[in-house]
Amino acid sequence: MKKSILFLVALLIGAGLFAQECSNLFFSEYVEGSGNNKALEIYNPTDEEVDLSTFVIRRYSNGSPVYTDELSLSGTIQSKGVVVVTNGQTDSVWVNSGGYWSVPIDTALYNKGELHCSGEYPTPMYFNGNDAMTLETITGEVVDIFGKIGTDPGSNGWNDIPPTYFAGDQFWTSWTKDQTLIRKHTVKDGVNENPVTFMVNVEWDSVAKNYFDSLGYHQCDCGTLGINTNKFKHSVVMYPNPSTSSNNITISASERIEFVSVVNELGQIVFTQEYAIAPKSVVIERETLTNGIYIITARFIDNTTYVDKLMVR
């Protein structure tokens, strides 16, 4: 009887722990580009639509232990879907205190966003690579943390080098300054307690600076890739994904495909193909790809575009 009770308790505890996964929103992409090219993507891993008006984004600037500014969110986020929040500065602004022009956000990045900050400093969407960023409820519950609150890693932010994981003066090692980061598909929930050490490479993959084609969707083990049907209307399947064998990768769609490109983690184009006679199915040879993460872009004859992340192992 004692063993049965212990087994039942363990089972209940295990079920409680499992229930924490895929149960709340978290950051799925981080864009810290040149100038004011700043964006954060939020993913909803749950099976329900979530009201964003109960959440805020907060910035803990330059190692501050308390938040320095916040942005209230609005609208809703669909199950397995994403919302992109960008900087809202669309004009050049002269900064008297620094004696320089603050340049506007790239129009292409701005157009990726469903939500934008006011475009007037300060707001969290003027973050830099050494700022801790959080997603919190309006009641103060921390849902996800990027970085470490109360710690300033230096102007170049965090990197993947122990023991400190601080880039310091070695700007070329930084992962959080002048980088786009995508949350690994295996991550199923946010970081809700301030980490002892922020090891960015554990949960994030790095791609090129000012790369934001992957905004607007997220691949996660909590569920299928979320694509806003208001922005994309065709049925598309890419398989196998992840690719773990020598099998070629196939992209099959309900619309004819006129162009495909494959970009690696460094932002380099490793495959591109224009199709004179647009097919509904195309093949990318596996032998042309090494292990890593790739961004696949397919353009259709009606000029709509599909973007997806491919894992090759």
Sign of the C-alpha dihedral computed for residues 208, 109, 92 and 66 taken in this order: negative
What is the band of 168 on the pLDDT scale with cuts at 50, 70, 90? confident
Q: Which domain holds residue 198?
A: 22-207
Q: Which of 2-16, 75-89, 115-129 has the lowest mean pLDDT?
A: 2-16
Give the domain CATH number at 127.
2.60.40.1260
248 and 191 fall within a common domain: no
Contact 133, 176 (CB under 8 A): no
pLDDT tens digit sequence for 92-109:
988 887 788 899 999 999
48 and 193 fall within a common domain: yes
Cross-strand bridge partners of residue 83 = 42
Does pLDDT of 296 surpass 60? yes
Q: How many Å separate Cα 64 from the centre of its chain? A: 24
Structure tokens at 32: 């810290």
CA atoms within 13 A on the CB side of 203: 22
User: 85 phi and psi, to 5 degrees?
Assistant: -115, 125
pLDDT of residue 233: 64
Give the domain CATH number at 259.
2.60.40.3080
130 and 30 fall within a common domain: yes
193 and 55 fall within a common domain: yes
190 and 49 fall within a common domain: yes
User: What average pLDDT does range 283-304 have in this prediction?
Assistant: 88
Give the number of other Cβ atoms within 10 Å of residue 50's Cβ.
20
What is the band of 169 on the pLDDT scale with cuts at 50, 70, 90? confident
56 found inside a domain: yes
247 and 141 fall within a common domain: no
182 found inside a domain: yes
DSSP string computed for 244-313? -SSPPEEEEESS-EEEEEEE-TTS-EEEEEE-SS--SEEEE-GGG--SEEEEEEEEETTS-EEEEEEEE-
59 and 134 fall within a common domain: yes
pLDDT tens digit sequence for 183-235:
988 899 999 999 999 999 999 988 878 888 788 888 888 875 443 333 456 77
37 and 181 fall within a common domain: yes
10 found inside a domain: no
- Count of domains for the chain: 2
C-alpha to C-alpha distance for 179 and 309, rounded to whole angstroms: 17
